[in-house]
Structure 1
């Protein structure tokens, strides 16, 4: 399996929305304005491509200072467990470091603890969350 990582690739909203739908069980007919959002709000983003097809993604948002935030990590279900997620997360960390960020934060669900803490090298920290659209 050959995976090519591409930093700040030209985003196709339909393709990235479809990847997210596959990865998270969403509606594949819903197309989000990914390209606009990333251009306006992301420090960087990484795509993982297999034979020209987007199979992995992560975005790095930031506060304009020392803190960056890993969000929207997605891997095609057929390739999960094959180091695609690890590759995009590690590439994102390197990009954030190269941009001068000192900290990279990530929030995750309990079933992803092993991936982020053991595989990717994050350390556990307390965090909080408020659901704003209830």
Structure 2
């Protein structure tokens, strides 16, 4: 059985372990630095309390929320956990007064976000800042 919690008390060590479980990059201290800037997040835990899913919701303080860092433990993938954390995050962003929920994703994740989670494709722009070489004027 999987339980889901909004603003679940997730530790930096748990995020590191979760990221490593599916081959993701894990940076110590990342979650401790990001958490204070989040509208909220969803944690998914198995019956033993192990963190098996996660998504962070950043926001602009107004109408726009942004999904970041959706993760599902490698051994728990393809069970609907990622979809469930995204849906719960969307419900809480809506309850907080957000009108829009944005997500960026790599092409291989399109089916997950568009078909499983209900996002619609849009035009968007992106600048990879380290590649521009430009500093402040």
How many Å separate the matches in 2 of 1:57 and 1:19?
A: 8
From the CA coordinates, give the structure whose radius of gyration is larger. Answer: 2
Q: Which residue in the other structure is 1:65 paired with?
A: 62
| Maintained 8 Å contact 1:11/1:35 | no
- The alignment status of 1:17 with 2:16, answered yes or no, reads yes
The within-5 A match list for 1:42-57 is 42-50=38-46, 51-57=48-54
Where 1:87 maps in the other structure, the secondary structure is helix
- Give the aligned length: 130
The within-5 A match list for 1:82-97 is 82-97=79-94
Where 1:93 maps in the other structure, the secondary structure is helix
Q: Which residue in the other structure is 2:116 paired with?
A: 119
Identify the match of residue 74 of structure 2 among 77, 91, 96. Answer: 77
Where 1:122 maps in the other structure, the secondary structure is coil
Q: What stretches of structure 2 of length at least 5 have no aligned partner?
A: 132-137
| Maintained 8 Å contact 1:58/1:88 | yes
Q: Which residue in the other structure is 1:106 paired with?
A: 103
How many Å separate the matches in 1 of 2:21 and 2:125?
A: 28
Where 2:8 maps in the other structure, the secondary structure is coil
Q: What is the Cα deviation at residue 14 of structure 1?
A: 0.9
Q: What stretches of structure 1 of length at least 5 have no aligned partner?
A: none
TM-score (norm. length: structure 2): 0.89
Where 1:133 maps in the other structure, the secondary structure is helix
Q: Which residue in the other structure is 1:7 paired with?
A: 6
Moved more, 124-133 or 84-93: 124-133
- The alignment status of 1:32 with 2:29, answered yes or no, reads yes
